[in-house]
Amino acid sequence: MFSKGTKRKFSDGGEAISDESLLGARVASSYSLQRQSLLDMSLIKLQLCHMLVEPNLCRSVLIANTVRQIQEEMTHDGSWHMVTEAFCSAGQSPSERLVATEVLCRSREQDAEPKLFSVISYEGCREEEVVADETLCSVSVSNTVSNVCLAGRMGQCWEKSELSGVERDEEVLEDSRLGSGEDEEIATEDGASTESPKTIGQVFGTFEIKNGSPGPDSALEELFSDVDTSYYDLDTMLTGMQSAPKMGPYDLLDSLAPSHSSPSIVSTPNCRSDLNELDHIMEIIVGS
Amino acid sequence: CCCGCFGLCCDTVQWCFLSICTSDIISTVEFNCSGELLATGDKGGRVVIFQREQESKNRLLSRGEYNVYSTFQSHEPEFDYLKSLEIEEKINKIRWLPQQNAAHFLLSANDKTIKLWKISERDKRAEGYNLKDEDGRLRDQFRITTLRVPVLMPMDLMVEASPRRIFANAHTYHINSISVNSDYETYLSADDLRINLWHLEITDRSFNIVDIKPANMEELTEVITAAECHPHQCNVFVYSSSKGTIRLCDTRAAALCDRHSKFFEEPEDPSSRSFFSEIISSISDVKFSHSGRYMMTRDYLSVKVWDLNMENRPVETYQVHEYLRSKLCSLYENDCIFDKFECCWNGSDSAIMTGSYNNFFRMFDRNTRRDITLEASRENSKPRAMLKPRKVCTGGKRKKDEISVDSLDFNKKILHTAWHPKENVIAVAATNNLYIFQDKIN
């Protein structure tokens, strides 16, 4: 009766409204998922800042400020409270999120279709010391972390070679990790829905977009088609951090710049892990 | 240039390739005050100085090439065994002192230590010593029967670099800037949280003139990113921050210049606010114009020119690579968003230059408002080859010779560029290659 593009009449108002509100909800939930993804990414960066080839206080401060901004906004939204509850209660279940981050580049007023392209999943990760009133939450990786992956995909056309040098080193480590078939990565770049069912299934479990607000199929395909698992291999690094003391992000800043006159440069990864092992051995010997 | 000005105001300025030199990853590039010497510092702690060939009188229109003049190891890696901390030897900054005698002096800084180097030429040596042979062995005293006066004989030119001062142990954080004062007696050095003022003759103490370290490090939200002395007023300096602000300070006002005389900040555009707004507003470089009336700041996406008399906004803003604004998330993921690009003025302050990705660098003519994108690549490295302007396609149909945003190589970044103080000769550091371009004379 009505040609395409004709404005709907009032009789269709009910449907129109629910469609609009559905669209609004979808955008809002994807925004919050993307925001969460950015928060996760930032926390990981903060945790690993000492792994950089060149330690950079400016970078850490900027990342910490970003985390604070996100946390403030989430507190304002009331969504921070829900997040902390979820984390505090779910001690054992992995908290995984499948989010996109690109829309965070744009302001909230824009309601363009978000491009979903970033996958972050923690397995066996436990968030501790999450306090709503604190400016930042700290993420401490427990001993049960066996296979944490941060697969980031930065857009359709970005090649693997354009990743930073840090990630390139991690590609070497990835091979050893992929060898253990138990927790398969989203390793292939083709075939959207045929990836390792375990990982995808876990991911789907908390993927609100799929359940609540059906996104277009193309978005989902895009999500899984080109996931680049070589982006971050945190496995070896995070297992190296098992014996690291729990610390908040500003403790990291502290470690970068102790109050005494010692230099603010951080150690090479080898030295740090050696020292941690030494500490661990000493603890056993002393029996503390 | 036929009208006697520099920069791009005339279409006759055509940039062409002059020379290239390969080394370790170049971390700083700086012409000396006359432009005769060009110094580069690299990640391995080495300094390489190039000297311009004297122009041949027969070929008045030819320009001299830059050849290696001196190479020396400025800084060595240090390892603090007690804390298991390594201090990189990478040269963060080189600054030349104005030449006052036959020798040249420069300051080179790594993360922790600043050194004053003297570079001098030796083209004569003494011969005919009484007490030792030509090869240096002591002569048997009983064989010395006559006394002679040693004579100076010409020898092959030797360029020697010797460290004259070492300014150490004054910085807890990484040094990001050094700047020689116009009094030629003092200089400042800045790290993430503090700025110190040194006297060139005194190495065992310095004055702390800015300290933004909070009592509780958990409250740290802003760091110093760059600092520079005013080119003419020896009591004035500026420093930029990671929040996109510039503070101008007067050392006559107080011993500790924590309170600024002027505060430069552009109000944020609320419509473009995102979680990355602060990061991209972080200033990576600040440079006074030669006139001392303006200063230029580089943030992630743009270059801004400020009039020192107007604090509330810049007088000019130039977009370097605005097409990256929609990619900020990705650039945050791969850390490119934290890249620190430098910027520079030409000799007459009519043009400015800064680097970008894909080995592109950009020049902006302040008078005509025209800009150009050029590429430092091996393919354009034939002698006297003219550089072709490049263009990034931001959307829609890609024209021939254009490159699309998604094809840019973000590992090829030009962070360091320098412009000859008097002529249209530029030095561009593309990772481990130093390109020198000059304009072709018509």
Distance CA B48, CA B391 (A): 33
User: pLDDT: is A92 or B48 the higher one?
Assistant: B48
Q: In what order do the strands lie in the sheet with B371-375?
A: B343-345, B351-355, B360-365, B371-375
- Is residue B197 scored above 90 in pLDDT? yes
Q: Which of A152-166, B193-207, B300-314 is least confident? A: A152-166
Scanning A83-112 for CB atoms below 8 A from B yields 101-102, 104-107, 109
Tell me whether residue B2 is in a domain.
Answer: no
**Structural domain harbouring A88:** 20-286
Number of domains in chain B: 1
Q: What is the pLDDT of residue B371?
A: 93
Tell me whether residue A227 is in a domain.
Answer: yes
**Model confidence band, residue B257 (pLDDT cutoffs 50, 70, 90):** confident
Q: Which of A147-156, B11-20, B416-425 is least confident? A: A147-156
Cβ–Cβ gap A250/B279 under 8 Å: no
Per DSSP, helices labelled H in A90-188 are 165-179
Number of domains in chain A: 1
Q: What is the pLDDT of residue A150?
A: 32
User: pLDDT: is A158 or B339 the higher one?
Assistant: B339
- A278 interfacial to chain B (CB closer than 8 Å): no
Q: Cα B409 from chain centroid?
A: 23
Distance CA B429, CA B20 (A): 10
Q: How far is B224 from chain A (nearest CA, A)?
A: 8
Residues B87-99 have a mean pLDDT of: 95
Structure tokens at B268: 């944020």
Q: Are B293 and B236 in contact (CB under 8 A)?
A: no
Q: What SS3 state is found at B333?
A: helix
List pLDDT tens digits, range B97-152: 999 999 999 999 999 999 999 999 998 888 888 888 878 788 888 888 889 899 99
Q: Are B171 and B178 in contact (CB under 8 A)?
A: no
Residues of B in contact with A268 (CB under 8 A): 84, 86
Tell me whether residue B266 is in a domain.
Answer: yes
**Structural domain harbouring B195:** 8-439
Structure tokens at A84: 């902390």
Tell me whether residue A77 is in a domain.
Answer: yes
Q: Are A103 and A114 in contact (CB under 8 A)?
A: yes
Cβ–Cβ gap B275/A267 under 8 Å: no
- Is residue A1 scored above 60 in pLDDT? no
Average predicted confidence (pLDDT) for chain B: 90
Average predicted confidence (pLDDT) for chain A: 51
Q: What is the SS3 assignment for B230-247?
A: CCCCCCEEEEEECCCCEE
Residues of B in contact with A105 (CB under 8 A): 274, 276, 325-329
Tell me whether residue A9 is in a domain.
Answer: no
Distance CA B416, CA B340 (A): 9
Number of neighbours of residue B104 by Cβ within 10 angstroms: 27
> What CATH number did the domain enclosing B435 receive?
2.130.10.10
Tell me whether residue A12 is in a domain.
Answer: no
Distance CA A75, CA A69 (A): 10
List pLDDT tens digits, range B377-407: 888 777 777 888 899 988 777 788 889 999 9
Structure tokens at B338: 């934290």
Scanning A168-197 for CB atoms below 8 A from B yields none
Tell me whether residue A281 is in a domain.
Answer: yes
Q: Which residue of B has its CA nearest to A45?
A: B333
| Listed residue (B351, B355, B331) closest to B341, CA to CA | B355
- Is residue A33 scored above 60 in pLDDT? yes
Q: What percent of chain B has pLDDT over 70?
A: 94
Phi, psi values for residue B427, rounded to 5°: -115, 130
- A65 interfacial to chain B (CB closer than 8 Å): yes
Q: Which of B59-68, B73-82, B232-241 is least confident? A: B59-68
- Is residue B182 scored above 70 in pLDDT? yes
- Is residue B5 scored above 80 in pLDDT? no
Q: Which residue of B has its CA nearest to A270?
A: B84
Burial of B401 by CB count in 10 Å (0-12 exposed, 13-18 middle, 19+ buried)? exposed
What is the pairing mode between strands B402-404 and B391-393? Answer: parallel
Q: Which residue of B has its CA nearest to A36?
A: B275
- Is residue A174 scored above 80 in pLDDT? no
| Listed residue (A196, A230, A199) closest to A94, CA to CA | A199
Tell me whether residue B232 is in a domain.
Answer: yes
Cβ–Cβ gap B275/A70 under 8 Å: yes
Cβ–Cβ gap A154/B329 under 8 Å: yes
Q: What is the pLDDT of residue A4?
A: 56
Q: What is the pLDDT of residue A198?
A: 32
Q: Which residues contact B136 (CB under 8 A, 6 or more apart)?
A: none
- Is residue B328 scored above 50 in pLDDT? yes
Residues B354-379 have a mean pLDDT of: 93
Q: What is the pLDDT of residue A6?
A: 54
What is the pairing mode between strands B175-180 and B151-167? Answer: unpaired
- Is residue A120 scored above 90 in pLDDT? no
Q: Which residues contact A173 (CB under 8 A, 6 or more apart)?
A: A233, A235, A236, A237
Cβ–Cβ gap A107/B272 under 8 Å: yes
List pLDDT tens digits, range A185-204: 333 333 333 433 333 223 23
List the single best residue of B275, B283, B337, B339 to mutate versus A (max A Cβ within 10 A): B275
Q: What is the pLDDT of residue A9?
A: 53
